[in-house]
Amino acid sequence: MSTSTSTSTSTGTFTLLLFASASTFAGDLETLTLPAPTTLRGVFRELERRFPGMTRRILRSSAVTVNLEYVDVDVEADEASSGGNRGKGAGGGETGGGHGDGGEQERMRVKGEGKAVGEGAGEGGGEGLDLLIRPGDEVGIIPPVSSG
């Protein structure tokens, strides 16, 4: 059970939880503390920068949660539209600010159902890989688990 902490001069941090093969791929790290705000795309790019090959081997097939709610992400479609350009880091102009109250319910999508959770979902918070990750959020990367 290893933990990695990154300090940041930005407005805050969020917690990234890596489960099963995601943790193994990251050298048995289970928790990372990363700068916020960012987007899920920024999170994935930072993971690819730190752990080359993680997008292809882990993230493409993983479920993602933000504050215990599944979110619908399509890593393969993003790779196709960006020409597979990965590893730019979490910055990339993807940070945001000036967001009012309403937090996670304002921006959550239920995976596979395509419907908003809470009123005003998607208003300014983005969705999918553009979902805004704010200070204090908890993001989980949950790879499929095979039984045997």
Question: By the 8 A CB rule, do 34 and 43 touch?
Answer: yes
Tens of pLDDT, residues 15-35: 999 999 999 999 999 999 999
pLDDT reported for residue 25: 98
64 found inside a domain? yes
Q: Residue 65 belongs to a domain with what CATH number?
A: 3.10.20.30
pLDDT under 70 in the chain at which residues? Answer: 1-10, 80-125, 148
Residue with tokens 């993003």: 78
Give me the percent of the chain exceeding a pLDDT of 90.
Answer: 53
Tens of pLDDT, residues 45-65: 999 999 999 999 999 999 999
pLDDT reported for residue 113: 37
pLDDT reported for residue 2: 55
pLDDT reported for residue 121: 37
69 found inside a domain? yes
Q: How many domains does the chain have?
A: 1
Q: Which residues contact 65 (CB under 8 A, 6 or more apart)?
A: 71, 138, 139, 140, 142
Give me the percent of the chain exceeding a pLDDT of 70.
Answer: 61
147 found inside a domain? no
pLDDT reported for residue 126: 78
How many CB atoms neighbour CB 24 within 10 A?
14
148 found inside a domain? no
pLDDT reported for residue 67: 98
Q: Structural domain of residue 26, as residue ranges? A: 2-142
Question: By the 8 A CB rule, do 58 and 21 touch?
Answer: yes
130 found inside a domain? yes
